[in-house]
Structure 1
Amino acid sequence: MKLLRGKSLLDDPAQNKSTAFSREERNQFGLRGLLPYKVTDIKTQQERALGNLRRKSSDIEKYIFLNSLLERNQRLFYRTMIDHLDEIMPLVYTPTVGEACKQFAHIYRKPQGFYINPEDRGEIASILDNWYETDVRIVVVTDGERILGLGDLGANGMGISIGKTALYVACGGIHPTQCLPVMLDVGTNNQTLREDLLYLGCPHPRLTEHAYLSLVDEFVQAIQTKFPNALIQFEDFQSQNAFDLLDRYRKQVRCFNDDIQGTAAVTLAGIYTSSRITRKSFTDLKIMLLGTGSAATGIAELMMPAFCAAGLSEDVARSRISFVDRQGLVVSSREHFKPRIRPFAHDHASVNFLEAIESIQPDVLIGATGVAGAFSETAIRKMAQFNERPVIIALSNPTSHTECTAEEAYRWTDGRAIFASGSPFPSFRLGEKLFKPAQGNNAYIFPGVGLGVIASRARLITDSMFLIAARVLANMVLPEEIEVGAIYPSLSRIRSVSHAIAVAICQVAQQEGLVDDALPQDLTTYVRTLMYEPNY
């Protein structure tokens, strides 16, 4: 890193310490006269930043403030985020990032990340030379077609890539210089965006078929050329593209799809933990999924090896999983299926959602629909009728799109529900009991997976890695957390979770022969030395 001086040093977010520069540093780096008299430490700067943050009247204003802080003083931003993760993560990512993406072009202030559009075809590798870091290890890429539950937001989807890289740093300890957010701007079919004077993306309909795929191919190859040690995380692609791209590249390059595999792992972890509360055998559980998109399908496809590893045959494992969509229970007598859903179609009469709950009596109900209120009071009460402790997992983001709220789940089950959601909900008191709803956030999974892949230099990312990540996450939930209804660890311990997952990923990579060089015997210490700590 080139050592800067004077105003150039203060303008560089990676090196700037602002008022924390000592008297000696102010002399050495030409800063005398450019800063107020008092030298302050990072804790004092945090107090100032938090005071300013908390004076903002809306979450989107808080998002803008935090983004501005990141652009001024990178270490202060990440130190503050790590130390106050419960407060800041919902502002940096879900649920606030959904609104930030909707308004992205209107609140745009300074370039972050890397944009690729159809005019770059044939030159992607060369324009990647314009990125100012050379040791990129994490690439988060979206094409903006299915941003959370909000649909096609085009180039505004860059907010997702930026947010995810921030979570890699804060939750996984990846160094900021090793993270690259990418927007694959292939156009948008959102007419409102295309007609918006302030919209910053390509104002054309989306590329499709060969034109789309060839551009993604070139991008993936360019990343391999320019950053050979990088993993690629696909984020918020439309369901069919998500699966097609994952299947196309997963056996060739380090890549995964967080909506498919990350969501599946965090959900599986929650199911593992819920069994500690219900005292039901994992292999006896019946899982019902409302929705047939990439998240729900990914969950089912990871549940299969989890059930089989626990001793079930594939046929029996498959019989434990059922899907419900707009037409009701997915049954084998239907004429049309999504190809990946077909194996889970039941030999069962056609019934609606409520009838399916009554007939199958699932232990776990998972929503991945993007439809607010999809879990009606009747549905939740039916779950409570058949289960002493019904497990309700409402995954859809942002909060405005969740299938039911934490309060609804607890009220409709007289406090018996074991509840988790994709976005955070506040604590809720029912009678004498205080509930602290669990957040099934993918941030419990993908930063640790990324850290483990960086540490091991694994050539590929496998399903076994997500299975072990789910198991590690579940095992880290403390008895006192379970006591208040949480099936995930406190966010305050998320870096410890990521560290433990990364160590396990290294072990899996070695076992599967995906590591070229021998890793240190003391993986616990080795991985910890790789984790970025933002201090002065």
Structure 2
Amino acid sequence: MKREYEQATAVGNAPLRIRTRGRAVLSNPMTNRGTAFTEAEREALELDGLMPTAFTTLENQTQRVYEQFRSTKTMLGKFLTLNALRDRNEVLFYHLLSSHLEEMLPVVYTPTIGEAIERFSHTYNRPRGVFLSIDHPEKVEQGLRNYGLDAEDVDLVCVTDSEGILGIGDQGIGGIQIAIGKLSVYTAAAGVHPRRTIPIVLDTGTDNLGLLSSDMYLGERHARVRGERYDEFVDQFVQTVTKLFPHAMIHWEDIGTANAHRILERYRDEVCTFNDDIQGTAAVVLAALLAGVDVTGTSLDEQRIVIFGAGSAGIGIADLVKDQMLRTRAARTEEEAYSHFWPIGLQGLYVDDDDTLHDFQRVYARRREEVADWDVADPERIGLLDVIRNVRPTILIGTSTKGGAFTQEVVEEMARHNPRPIIFPLSNPTSRAEATPADILRWTDGKALVATGSPFEPVTHDGIRHTIAQSNNALIFPGLGLGVAACRATRITPGMIAAASQALAGLVNAWRPGAPLLPGIGDLRLVSATVAIEVARQAAKEGVAERPLTDPVQQVYERMWQPRYPKVEAI
């Protein structure tokens, strides 16, 4: 079957060769450019009479849709407005998004994406993505084929099973929105062509009783499938994707804690796979830590790190920092590296006799005899303040989604033993942040080095304006995906993740009083290109690049799609 249009999507802005005519041209978001079609293009594509006669530029159109965006009052309304624009004109959508990225990223991504996911079955309009059901495994391959892309056309597959969506948990089939949102950021931030990506949801059921009891719910109506049947379905998905799209990176998103590490470990040495919640979060946090440690004038081997909420994301951070310690010889052995961490979960400090821990958590558990002599309120549940008092940590990281957990007493106790405590309340959304930057800076007399998961306004303390670094995964994953695509990496190695972190850390100068530990979201295109170059270089060093870059700057630049109307050819 002949396609409606043809375009070489792997290089810059190649000509768009359109086969359809008339209203069919306007109904496809990749061929439609509305009133920006020239008189000659309208005649060639049989568009005369189907739109107002005036010709407008992409910039004029962007101004018009931006006014429409600004006039929408609610965040969900803004999300739906942008969604409708993308379904109408994809180039215009990305030109608008790229022109106002700092303002619109919280709309197309976190935190607004959470509400859009919760409301998915109520706001559903035009289908986007691939929906694969565990009840119909025989349809997996055909479902992926029906998306209409060939083996050479796909760089990224973003997939979720929707069990661990942001801070709101199991959201069933609505999780497709997180995959769509992630891929939008890949395009806006790193120039990955929107037609070289596929958003996918694995519908394995849901344990969300609110969804199951709603007549509006669009997913499979049964409890979430687990165990062997789940594993077989995931394996079928992975094998099918790698068969159909052999050069695609599989990006896992918001997989539940019980499965995320297990899936990553199962496939990381077999296919090109990446878990953003584990590796992406860890990479951006490592970058902020490297910048922060540099400011303190200490080194990694001097750090005592407490991770509050040590699930997939928290342990992912620990794993990458541990690997960095071994790579830079800040620790000589794995045992020595593990000794720098104190992980805390729902039941308190992880200790080795706790049989509720997952294997990926247990390796960080402290020995029971090590804490036997601690002065604590409850020896069976050693809490955050107990750990702070006994460990005197230099770094405190929050990935708990427990809003306000970093109390004044906790922060002041930490600051009592550190001239420049590093405190990262990373949980999203803002209401779930373990503390606010304003409180942390007030309680530490402006001495703390802070990064957050959600965006916060600058804080002025004692005459110094502190710009708060947002530890946003968007600073890492778009550039990583671009680098992988540019060199056709067959695997994503720990060394490539570390290279991404170091590239990001190298873009900031945190020595100025009040300076952020990370670049701003407004610099995402620069950040992504810089990260991509270093990721591709590291892939070549480790022998996992099918096409090592010979001129990295030029080749990465040429790979970045620009949201501009390309030349049109009627065929």
Question: Normalised by the shorter chain, which TM-score bucket?
Answer: over 0.9
CA distance in 1 between counterparts of 2:520 and 2:347 reads 38
CA contact (8 A) 1:419 1:438 kept: yes
Q: Look up the equivalent residue of 1:313 and give its one-letter code.
A: R
Counterpart residue number, 2:525: 495
Where structure 2 has 5 or more consecutive residues not aligned to the other structure, the ranges are 7-17, 373-378, 566-571
CA distance in 2 between counterparts of 1:223 and 1:129 reads 10
1:168 pairs with 162, 171, 186, which one? 186
CA contact (8 A) 1:478 1:489 kept: no
Q: 1:67 to 1:484 in 2, by over 3 A?
A: farther
CA contact (8 A) 1:161 1:181 kept: yes
Counterpart residue number, 1:16: 32
CA contact (8 A) 2:193 2:560 kept: yes
Q: Does 1:297 align with 2:315?
A: yes
CA distance in 1 between counterparts of 2:435 and 2:78 reads 26
Q: Look up the equivalent residue of 1:525 and give its one-letter code.
A: Q
Counterpart residue number, 1:391: 422
1:93-492 mapped onto 2 (5 Å cutoff): 93-134=109-150, 135-311=153-329, 312-314=331-333, 315-332=335-352, 334=354, 337-346=357-366, 347-349=370-372, 350=379, 351-478=382-509, 483-492=513-522
- What are the Cα deviations for residues 187-221 of structure 1, in whole angstroms up to 9, with x where unaligned? 00111100111111111111111111111111111
Range with greater deviation from structure 2 (211-220 or 340-349): 340-349
Q: Look up the equivalent residue of 2:522 and give its one-letter code.
A: S
- What are the Cα deviations for residues 429-448 of structure 1, in whole angstroms up to 9, with x where unaligned? 33533222111111111111
Partner of 2:450: helix, strand, or coil?
Answer: strand
Counterpart residue number, 1:530: 559
CA distance in 2 between counterparts of 1:534 and 1:337 reads 47
- What are the Cα deviations for residues 49-98 of structure 1, in whole angstroms up to 9, with x where unaligned? 11111111111111111111111111111111112111010111011111
Q: Look up the equivalent residue of 1:382 and give its one-letter code.
A: E
Shift of 1:502: 1.4
- What are the Cα deviations for residues 387-432 of structure 1, in whole angstroms up to 9, with x where unaligned? 2222111221222222122222223223222221112122233353
Shift of 1:127: 2.6
Shift of 1:234: 0.8
Q: Look up the equivalent residue of 1:248 and give its one-letter code.
A: R
CA distance in 1 between counterparts of 2:50 and 2:465 reads 51
CA contact (8 A) 1:140 1:234 kept: yes
Shift of 1:119: 3.1
Where structure 1 has 5 or more consecutive residues not aligned to the other structure, the ranges are none
Q: 1:479 to 1:296 in 2, by over 3 A?
A: closer
Q: 1:118 to 1:336 in 2, by over 3 A?
A: closer
Q: 1:241 to 1:336 in 2, by over 3 A?
A: closer
CA distance in 1 between counterparts of 2:90 and 2:417 reads 51
CA distance in 2 between counterparts of 1:106 and 1:425 reads 30
Q: 1:5 to 1:484 in 2, by over 3 A?
A: farther
Shift of 1:478: 3.7
Partner of 1:484: helix, strand, or coil?
Answer: coil
Aligned length: 534
CA distance in 1 between counterparts of 2:352 and 2:142 reads 50
Partner of 1:454: helix, strand, or coil?
Answer: helix
Q: Does 1:73 align with 2:89?
A: yes
Partner of 1:344: helix, strand, or coil?
Answer: coil
CA contact (8 A) 2:134 2:233 kept: yes
Q: 1:336 to 1:236 in 2, by over 3 A?
A: closer
- Give the TM-score normalised by structure 2: 0.90
Counterpart residue number, 1:5: 21
Shift of 1:354: 0.6
Q: Look up the equivalent residue of 1:323 and give its one-letter code.
A: P
CA contact (8 A) 1:143 1:186 kept: yes
2:535 pairs with 505, 513, 532, which one? 505
Partner of 1:535: helix, strand, or coil?
Answer: coil
CA distance in 1 between counterparts of 2:546 and 2:289 reads 35
CA contact (8 A) 1:468 1:504 kept: yes
CA distance in 2 between counterparts of 1:208 and 1:140 reads 21
Taking only aligned residues, the RMSD between alpha carbons, in angstroms, comes to 1.7
CA contact (8 A) 2:283 2:476 kept: yes
CA distance in 2 between counterparts of 1:294 and 1:437 reads 25
- What are the Cα deviations for residues 247-288 of structure 1, in whole angstroms up to 9, with x where unaligned? 111111111111111111111111001123222223212211
Shift of 1:384: 2.1
Range with greater deviation from structure 2 (155-164 or 14-23): 14-23
Range with greater deviation from structure 2 (503-512 or 265-274): 503-512
CA contact (8 A) 1:283 1:310 kept: no
CA distance in 1 between counterparts of 2:296 and 2:147 reads 51
CA distance in 2 between counterparts of 1:199 and 1:372 reads 30
State, as a whole percentage, how many aligned pairs show the same letter: 38
- What are the Cα deviations for residues 8-43 of structure 1, in whole angstroms up to 9, with x where unaligned? 112111121112112222222222222223222112
Partner of 1:289: helix, strand, or coil?
Answer: strand
Q: 1:68 to 1:336 in 2, by over 3 A?
A: closer
Q: Look up the equivalent residue of 2:101 and give its one-letter code.
A: L
CA distance in 2 between counterparts of 1:449 and 1:317 reads 26
Q: 1:330 to 1:118 in 2, by over 3 A?
A: closer
Partner of 1:388: helix, strand, or coil?
Answer: coil
CA contact (8 A) 2:102 2:521 kept: yes
CA distance in 1 between counterparts of 2:491 and 2:284 reads 20
